[in-house]
Structure 1
Amino acid sequence: MNKKAILTSALAGCLVFSTVPTTFAHDMLDDSLAEKGANEGDNLNAIPVLEGNKNLGNWQEVASAQLKEYDGVKNSPADVYAHKGYAYLGTHVSGGGNGGVRVFDMKDPSNPVEIAKFADDISGTWQEKVIVKTVNTPHFKGDLAVVSVQQLDRDHPDSQGGFLLYDVTKPEAPEKLGFWEVDKRVPGTHELYLTVKEGKPFVLAANPYADYFTHGESMDFQLVDVSNPAEPKTIYEFDPRSLPEVSDDFNGYHWDAPDGKTRPVFNHSTMTDNNGDTALLSFWDLGTIILDISDPYNVKFEGRTEYASDVQGSAHSSALAKGGNVLIETREVYNPTRVGYEESYGYTRIFDISDKSNPKLLSTFKTDLVDNIEDGVTFANTVHDPKVHGNTLYLSHYAGGIRAVDITDPSNPVQIGKYVPENAYFWGVFVDRNYILGSDMGNGLKVLQKNNSAQ
């Protein structure tokens, strides 16, 4: 496919939300863009196994599983999650959406078997993100899955955004429990997280542009009590206007920042620490918002990350390390030539948040891709999602594959491995037990495992 056709296809995918600010356009990527990232670049796609040192030298690809086609429709994977020996893959907009969540049995990591599909019952939507946790409440006991639901076209009469709740105690036979709906004017819940406090489950929902589209009637971040999955209840919303640096005339998207620039602000993603006491909201150019949710019914603002005047914010996702004292912030900058900003694709920032009211930048981590701006605007070069396992940070990097970074010293992150198979275009990465999972938009579920026979 030539570049003109790729651009036309990408624009067509974005037109369904023609009034949505273009900074959200990445989430309308289709297979043609995955092909673009896979076939253009610095010969990144000839590496068959993970290259690295330290604790990564013995890892290798052991499986590559495409998603099943239903009624002749090919969907591509979005994010990936694992729970109790099963992998859960959300799906992207390709194939007309409604690809649902795919469940893979991982008993044999070298032979993942797709055993179920669920959360595909709302017309005109796509299901990017899925989180699974074990919960125990008076209303439900078992493994609970929450799935983000986004509208492909808000004019579709039967579509509705929000998140679905499913019982996946038997992963081969998921059962629908409930649906939490956002205002029909809002595209939907983009990314989300499920945390459990003393057995009680709460969903943190990022609903980008909710404030913008509803004129302040609802907010981009909502905290939802799902103790009774059949009757989810919203208990808190974060309003950016509560911050002194955000004026009352904030319109739900454009922010007249103190540096004199008009910056985009919307909630893209959410995360918590292991105890569910601290919430992280990726609020694009407002930075990563840190909330105290130790009492979910009395949420308190603690702090946020900030940017130099010449740095695009684009806080996309986050992760925690060092017992919750270190914050990893990935920034999805896909236009490296915006006037007034540094020429760079998105890279990772690492903060000390032991004092959450005053996050301190310890370091930045850049791959060999982020300063390569010669080929024009492309998603291939920006970082995407982070995951932390021990002292290793894993980053999905679109056509840049999966990068492994040693953060033993957070002030001096060092790349120790990279996995870039042929035609790579990675959306997400997840570490579970003795394997690493990657969701490759063009090639399905990738599984990396340690080669115990290697010396």
Structure 2
Amino acid sequence: MALESPVVRAVLVGLTLLSLACSDDKPRQPEPPPPPPPVDPWDGTYTPLVDPTDWEDPGEYAPCTATVARGTTFDCDSPALFDVSKCDTASLATLDPHGIYQVDLRNEDVYPDFVGLRVPRGGGVGTMDTRPLTRQELTGRFHVTSRFEFANAQRQVALLGCQVSRPGYVTGCYARCTNGKVGGTGTFEAARMTWGRGEAESSGGLRLLSETAVASGQPVDVYVDGHHAYVVSVTWGSRTPGGLTVFDISDRARPVLTKKISLPGDSYWNAAWTRGDALYVASKDTGVLVFDITERANPTFVRNVPGGPPLNVHTLFVDGDRLYAVSPGPSAHGETLLFDISKPLEPTLLNRIVVSDTTSYLPSAHDSFAYQDRLYVNHFSSGYVVFDVKDAMNPRELGAYTFASDNSTSMSHAGAVGTFGGRTIAFEGGEYQGTHLRVLDVTDPTNIPLIGRYKLRNQTSIHNMVLKDKRLYIAYYQEGLRVLDVSIPPQPKEIAHFNTFREDDPERSDGLLDGAIGIRVPGDGHVYVVDTSRGLLIFNEP
């Protein structure tokens, strides 16, 4: 190859220097500033609310009255038990001759009670609280009774409609009778469990991608691990025994059943969670069941913990290397078992956490949520109890939100906790009559104020919830799936819903606790809901 001449070399050097000089003449562009940090839409301020309790006395539901006093021997199946002369009984002609109703009962002592009612489409014997009806008239009137034996006595419940108060609602009078004598009487409001408030099936972009039946028992919970969904079921009524059903959900539109598992004499499985290659299942009979899921589609039973006497574990929560297993019994007031799961397949029991309150009418633990070294326990009538669990061997009760109520309907049931506006905010949901979502500031557990509420029909309640970023996903029984924007916690705002409850679904019941029951939002772009009748429902994440 020929060498460059001195002239060519000089020209190239000159061009290089000229290029650099021209480049230096150009003004330098400043570096773009870093993006500003996200702004929390809530500044942490609020006005504390007065808690009206769950069941708020509505006054008499209807202008009808009982015609006889308590203790009187009378035929409770007779319409003559009630005076409906002041009622608009003609409005009852607008009712369908079938339907599922949840019935709020207000007795003469201003005390709440409830029953469920189902009259099937196309005939057949209906039920009240799953017991057969002995009278069912929903054509031109609303008169239903149920007679049954309980606690060695002949019992009877009778409802007689007074009027249709608004679309989907019937009001009237009721009586409970024992051994042929009239006991408690009062008025009622029956809400039909069609979609409330005239809603469409869905809103907010929620789409049902798939619906997969679960053959084992009544499905109640799901946990999603990658491409597999683990659905647990309980034994319920005439259904087959409960257990575990595994689905491959690689194609969310077409889940594939891979395995069903049950154990002899152990089939009431209420919750599931995974950690590493371990699957934990809450058993009513034997505590926490541990399965090896090295093969995700093929769980293998390993052991139950903690072992020993029978133990009812109802719910589970995993936080890092800790498993919290909440047991409502057989201990007198319930407890939360704390396990070390640093070796996931070998849980080690570290402690049993017990609430200090032993005086409430039902001081029983139900669920828990761990967040930033604190454990938040839903403790039925004892309220929402906060523990410091930084030291597993020395948990300390820090405080509680208790219900200022003189009736037995306040039932703390589920919760989720996060940080908003620099404050620690809890979302607490109740179960049973009138219960709803409470928003609580738990920054100082010794002083927990109510700062927000969200409530749908008085006859429905929440089962479970998941907090993901600034959205709260709720499995709301007959109200289906509800999605709330909680970026401003004192003002939770519904942004999407899907009504999963349909009266004619197979295995639908008159139970208060029927419908959307289990929920997971694992961050894979989907929402997984378990419905007691329809099974596993998979939605897009809106």
TM-score of the two chains, using structure 1 as the length reference: 0.69
Residue of structure 2 aligned with 1:284, choices 373, 380, 390 = 380
Q: Displacement of 1:416 after TM fit?
A: 1.8
Gaps of at least 5 residues in structure 2 are 1-124, 134-145, 152-190, 506-514
Q: State the partner residue of 2:314.
A: 190
Q: State the partner residue of 1:327.
A: 426
Report the 3-state secondary structure (helix = DSSP H, G, I; strand = E; otherwise coil) of the residue aligned with 1:410.
coil
Residue of structure 1 aligned with 2:265, choices 118, 123, 128 = 123
Q: Deviations over 1:218-253 (max 9, x none)?
A: x52221224456654322122333xxxx4xxx4xxx
Identify if the C-alpha distance between structure 1 residues 46 and 173 changes in structure 2 by more than 3 Å, giving closer, same or farther.
farther
Which of the pair has more CA radius of gyration? 2
Identify if the C-alpha distance between structure 1 residues 310 and 147 changes in structure 2 by more than 3 Å, giving closer, same or farther.
same
Residue of structure 1 aligned with 2:226, choices 64, 84, 104 = 84
Q: State the partner residue of 2:31.
A: none
Q: State the partner residue of 2:327.
A: 207
Amino acid at match of 1:179: N
Does residue 2 (structure 1) correspond to residue 126 (structure 2)? The answer is yes
Identify if the C-alpha distance between structure 1 residues 450 and 202 changes in structure 2 by more than 3 Å, giving closer, same or farther.
closer
Contact 2:335 2:355 in 1 (8 A): no
User: Aligned-pair RMSD on alpha carbons?
Assistant: 3.1
Q: Displacement of 1:267 after TM fit?
A: 0.3
Identify if the C-alpha distance between structure 1 residues 348 and 88 changes in structure 2 by more than 3 Å, giving closer, same or farther.
same
Residue of structure 1 aligned with 2:193, choices 41, 57, 76 = 41
Identify if the C-alpha distance between structure 1 residues 305 and 178 changes in structure 2 by more than 3 Å, giving closer, same or farther.
same
Q: Deviations over 1:97-130 (max 9, x none)?
A: 6432222222111111122233x22414311100
Q: Distance in 2 between matches of 1:308 and 1:5?
A: 28
Gaps of at least 5 residues in structure 1 are 16-38, 52-56, 135-142, 152-160, 256-261, 335-344, 373-380
Between the two proteins, the alignment pairs up a number of residues equal to 350
Identify if the C-alpha distance between structure 1 residues 5 and 365 changes in structure 2 by more than 3 Å, giving closer, same or farther.
closer
Higher helix share: 1
Q: State the partner residue of 2:362.
A: 264
Q: State the partner residue of 2:404.
A: 308
Q: Distance in 2 between matches of 1:410 and 1:115?
A: 41
Q: Deviations over 1:64-98 (max 9, x none)?
A: 0112x4xxxx5221112212232221112235664
Residue of structure 2 aligned with 1:60, choices 185, 197, 207 = 207
Amino acid at match of 2:325: A
Q: State the partner residue of 1:358.
A: 447
Q: Flag the structure with more relative contact order, 1 or 2, with Cα contacts below 8 A and sequence separation at least 6.
A: 1
Q: Deviations over 1:336-365 (max 9, x none)?
A: xxxxxxxxx210111112223332211111
Contact 1:210 1:220 in 2 (8 A): no
Q: Distance in 1 between matches of 2:249 and 2:196?
A: 28
Identify if the C-alpha distance between structure 1 residues 183 and 263 changes in structure 2 by more than 3 Å, giving closer, same or farther.
farther
Q: Deviations over 1:288-316 (max 9, x none)?
A: 21112223223222222122235743111
Amino acid at match of 1:192: L
Q: State the partner residue of 1:26.
A: none
Q: Displacement of 1:322 after TM fit?
A: 2.7
Higher strand share: 2
Q: Displacement of 1:268 after TM fit?
A: 0.7
TM-score of the two chains, using structure 2 as the length reference: 0.59
Q: Distance in 2 between matches of 1:107 and 1:387?
A: 22
Q: Distance in 2 between matches of 1:394 and 1:132?
A: 20
Amino acid at match of 1:416: I
Q: State the partner residue of 1:150.
A: 284
Does residue 397 (structure 1) correspond to residue 476 (structure 2)? The answer is yes
Identify if the C-alpha distance between structure 1 residues 96 and 420 changes in structure 2 by more than 3 Å, giving closer, same or farther.
closer
Q: State the partner residue of 2:13.
A: none
Q: For 1:103-142, what aligned pairs fall within 5 Å after superposition?
A: 103-118=246-261, 120-134=262-276
Q: State the partner residue of 2:185.
A: none
Identify if the C-alpha distance between structure 1 residues 5 and 393 changes in structure 2 by more than 3 Å, giving closer, same or farther.
closer
Residue of structure 1 aligned with 2:295, choices 170, 181, 184 = 170
Does residue 318 (structure 1) correspond to residue 397 (structure 2)? The answer is no
Report the 3-state secondary structure (helix = DSSP H, G, I; strand = E; otherwise coil) of the residue aligned with 1:394.
strand
Identify if the C-alpha distance between structure 1 residues 330 and 298 changes in structure 2 by more than 3 Å, giving closer, same or farther.
same
Q: Displacement of 1:176 after TM fit?
A: 2.2
Q: Distance in 2 between matches of 1:103 and 1:148?
A: 16
Q: State the partner residue of 2:354.
A: 239
Identify if the C-alpha distance between structure 1 residues 285 and 194 changes in structure 2 by more than 3 Å, giving closer, same or farther.
same
Q: Distance in 1 between matches of 2:284 and 2:239?
A: 12
